[in-house]
């Protein structure tokens, strides 16, 4: 009798080990698996900050799809105009996993997968929501680089389907958006300079943990240590497992302008000083040089001012650099030409000097990090009213004689 009981107990123990594992494997095969994919930055300008997507696997139905919220259509009417206005509509598009990984392997980026620790109803709800998002009438959304991009859309979709709420730990470094962007554009100086010229003081305040998730790698780190909190107060990790599916490869840097920004501004400074020295030696003013400078200031300023006033892009409407790059400088062109042709003096140069001097005087207290060329550019431009003042003084002194 004792021997039979022992055999029964042994069989029960074996079933718990083998049968339990078999049931778990069957349940896993029959369930929906949802993962967040984080792709490392590439070398192209549009891929400098990385990418995020959602992967859904349903083994029993042979489904393995990636839902990508970073798709846009260049063929849409007036695409460039809408992009400048900040009215670009991105869309979500499903893509088979095998094609997605081939694309990023070609780019040389890595792919890190975080399998989410969702219940079966949560995973099913998220899958249904993604499919619903892909319907033609729902697939588009208004893109915003800082606040509503391919990464934040993934986070929002996950949060909407969780039963409870996600608790994010305060683990991300406390940085401004500009500092974060600088980390990703360090090897791309012209991309960094372009960002700094267009983005205003709004990106120079410390971001919250949630706001910092607009960068894919930041959101991946936040998800790593996040927990799901339900109404009963129970907590479970948001991420069940994490693994690297594709290793990054060495990527060749995209060719940029042959000169670096500091080299361009140094060359411009040398030209300004050379023109000034020649003017002093020749005792005359080269007003076409002033016209060219004012023309370039006005063109650059028109773009900045247009973005400042009309664009929906975030942070472009708080840009103090419109002080020295503005369409108002177009006004100086006819005044300079008229004064030169009629051999008369003009108050334009006095106005020009005051505007530039005030900008340089107050720049240390302006709550914005300027592009590296901004202050040197203002110093270079000051050579024009200084040269004009010296020219008028010499002319007046010569007239007295």
- CATH code of 240's domain: 3.90.1720
Q: What is the mean pLDDT of residues 96-110?
A: 93
Question: Considering the chain, what is the average pLDDT of its residues?
Answer: 87
150 in the same domain as 36: yes
All residues at 6 or more sequence positions from 129 whose CB lies less than 8 Å from its CB, including other chains: 157, 160, 161
Residue-level pLDDT at 14: 42
* Rounded Cα distance, 217 and 185, in Å: 15
Count: domains in the chain: 2
Intra-chain end-to-end CA distance of the chain, in Å: 135
Q: For residue 177, is pLDDT > 90?
A: yes
- The C-alpha angle 106, 107, 112, rounded to 5 degrees, equals 100
Which strand ranges, in their side-by-side order, compose the sheet holding 235-237? 165-167, 227-229, 235-237
235 in the same domain as 287: no
* Rounded Cα distance, 43 and 252, in Å: 7
Residue by residue, DSSP assigns 94-105 as EEEHHHHHHHHH
79-93, 170-184, 204-218, 298-312: range with lowest mean pLDDT: 79-93
* Rounded Cα distance, 189 and 203, in Å: 18
Residue 195 lies in a domain: no
Residue-level pLDDT at 173: 85
238 in the same domain as 152: yes
84 in the same domain as 39: yes
286 in the same domain as 219: no
**Beta-sheet pairing, 165-167 with 33-39:** unpaired
105 in the same domain as 241: yes
- C-beta neighbour count of 328 within 10 angstroms: 16
216 in the same domain as 288: no
Token pair belonging to 309: 């006033």
Residue 227 lies in a domain: yes
305 in the same domain as 233: no
Residue 52 lies in a domain: yes
Q: What is the pTM of this model?
A: 0.84
| Percent of the chain predicted with pLDDT > 70 | 87
Residue 179 lies in a domain: no
Which residues lie across from 112 on neighbouring strands? 38, 244
Residue 161 lies in a domain: yes
Residue 155 lies in a domain: yes
Residue 13 lies in a domain: no
Which tens digit of pLDDT belongs to each residue from 282-314?
888 899 999 999 999 999 999 999 988 888 888
144 in the same domain as 97: yes
196 within 8 A of 164, measured Cβ to Cβ: no
Between 256 and 237, where is the model more confident?
237
Which tens digit of pLDDT belongs to each residue from 307-334?
888 888 888 888 999 999 999 999 999 9
191 within 8 A of 48, measured Cβ to Cβ: yes
* DSSP classification of residue 77: T
Residue by residue, DSSP assigns 133-170 as HTSTTTSEEE-BTTTBSHHHHHHHHHHHHSSSEEE--S
Helix (H) or strand (E) holding 375: helix 374-381
- C-beta neighbour count of 172 within 10 angstroms: 22
Alpha helix locations (H) across 177-331?
177-185, 189-198, 216-224, 261-282, 287-310
272 in the same domain as 388: yes
Which tens digit of pLDDT belongs to each residue from 27-60?
344 589 999 999 999 888 778 899 999 999 999 9
* Rounded Cα distance, 361 and 384, in Å: 18
* Domain that residue 35 falls in: 30-172+209-246
340 in the same domain as 234: no
Token pair belonging to 166: 């996600």
Exposed/middle/buried for residue 182 (C-beta within 10 Å: 0-12, 13-18, 19+): middle
Q: For residue 255, is pLDDT > 70?
A: no
Residue 252 lies in a domain: no
272 in the same domain as 231: no
Residue-level pLDDT at 222: 95
The helix/strand count (H/E) of the chain reads as 15, 10
């Amino acid at each position: 009798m004792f021997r039979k009981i022992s055999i029964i107990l042994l069989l029960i123990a074996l079933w718990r080990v083998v049968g339990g594992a078999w049931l778990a494997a069957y349940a896993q095969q029959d369930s929906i698996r949802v993962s967040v994919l984080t792709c490392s930055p590439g070398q192209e300008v549009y891929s400098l900050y990385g990418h995020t997507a959602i992967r859904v696997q349903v083994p029993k139905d042979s489904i393995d799809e990636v839902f990508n919220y970073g798709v846009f259509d260049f063929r849409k009417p007036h695409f460039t105009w809408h992009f400048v206005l900040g009215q670009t509509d991105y869309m979500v598009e499903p893509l088979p996993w095998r094609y997605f990984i081939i694309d990023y392997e070609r780019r040389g980026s890595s792919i890190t997968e975080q399998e989410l620790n969702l219940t079966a109803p949560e995973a099913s709800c998220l899958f249904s929501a993604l499919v619903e998002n892909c319907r033609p009438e729902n697939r588009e959304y208004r893109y915003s680089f800082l606040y509503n991009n391919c990464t934040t859309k993934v986070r929002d979709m996950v949060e909407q389907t969780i039963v409870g709420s996600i608790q994010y730990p305060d683990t991300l470094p406390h940085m401004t958006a500009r500092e974060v962007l600088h980390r990703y554009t360090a090897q791309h100086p012209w991309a960094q300079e372009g960002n700094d010229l267009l983005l205003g003081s709004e990106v120079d305040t410390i971001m919250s943990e949630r706001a910092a998730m607009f960068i894919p790698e930041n959101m991946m780190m936040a998800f790593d240590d996040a927990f799901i909190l339900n109404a009963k107060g129970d907590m479970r990790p948001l991420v069940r497992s994490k693994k690297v599916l594709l290793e990054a490869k060495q990527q060749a840097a995209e060719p940029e302008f042959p000169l670096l920004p500091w080299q361009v501004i140094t060359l411009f400074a040398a030209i300004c000083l050379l023109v000034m020295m020649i003017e002093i030696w020749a005792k005359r003013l080269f007003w076409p040089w002033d016209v060219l400078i004012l023309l370039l200031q006005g063109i650059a300023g028109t773009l900045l001012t247009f973005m400042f006033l009309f664009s929906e892009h975030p942070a472009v409407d708080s840009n103090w650099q419109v002080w020295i790059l503005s369409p108002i400088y177009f006004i100086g062109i006819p005044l300079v030409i008229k004064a030169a042709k009629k051999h008369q003096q003009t108050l334009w140069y006095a106005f020009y000097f005051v505007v530039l001097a005030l900008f340089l005087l107050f720049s240390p207290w302006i709550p914005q990090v300027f592009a590296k060329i901004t202050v040197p550019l203002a110093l270079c431009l000051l050579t024009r009213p200084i040269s004009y003042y010296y020219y008028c003084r010499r002319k007046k002194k010569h007239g007295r004689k």
